[in-house]
A and B are shown apart, each in its own frame.
Chain A
């Protein structure tokens, strides 16, 4: 069974731009969560989607948003990029909410 896939793997953007990252969960998994990893703050929870609805959100500004489609694929969007948004963005899927999470390879975003 294929693992969690994320695209693109690397991205360079300029301050003020917006970006969209994509995540395809493991087949059959309905819960998708997003995390941000930075050297200073470590790994932090962004949000969780289940059945096309955002169920939880971490402590991030409204510039961070996401959505989930009927096939469970998910996208996250960051608008008005700031230098501090440079990070590794990780997507995880699980069969059920609260279940074991499996992570994708991540998208490394650099904002210049």
Chain B
């Protein structure tokens, strides 16, 4: 099945800084999503972005499907941005026979 790798595994920044989180995937995808997991464990949808670029406030994401990577940008970080960010993909071959494959996540800490 598809492999998903995220980097960096940990990131510590000062409030106000910008950050870039990367997700590499091993095959074509028909679904790619970015999530933020809150302290209670719930996965909050950030972007559904199998290709192209999207923006939502201080967050934006770009997926370059031909080169098999996606980037999540966080600008002007706030302490509330802290947490674990997951990238998840569903392979495009075989009719999307599998569920979402998750990366190991990036643990982001924003210090005041």
Contact = CB atoms under 8 A, between A and B. Distances in A.
A90 B38 CA distance: 13
B43 A103 contact: yes
Nearest to B102: A43
A64 interface: no
Interface residues of A, number: 26
Main secondary structure of the interface of A (DSSP, over half): strand
B90 interface: yes
Interface size class of B (residues with CB under 8 A): 20 to 34
A99 B96 CA distance: 10
A94 B42 CA distance: 16
B41 A97 contact: no
Interface in A32-57: 33, 35, 37, 42-48, 56
Contacts of B97: 56
B85 interface: no
A100 B45 contact: yes
B62 interface: no
Interface string B34-73: 0100001111010010000000000000000000000000
A45 B99 contact: yes
A98 B96 CA distance: 6
Interface of A: 33, 35, 37, 42-48, 56, 58, 88, 90, 92, 97-106, 108
Interface of B: 30-31, 33, 35, 40-43, 45, 48, 86, 88, 90, 96-102, 104-105
11 contacts: A33-B100, A42-B102, A56-B97, A98-B90, A99-B31, A100-B33, A101-B100, A103-B43, A104-B42, A106-B41, A108-B41
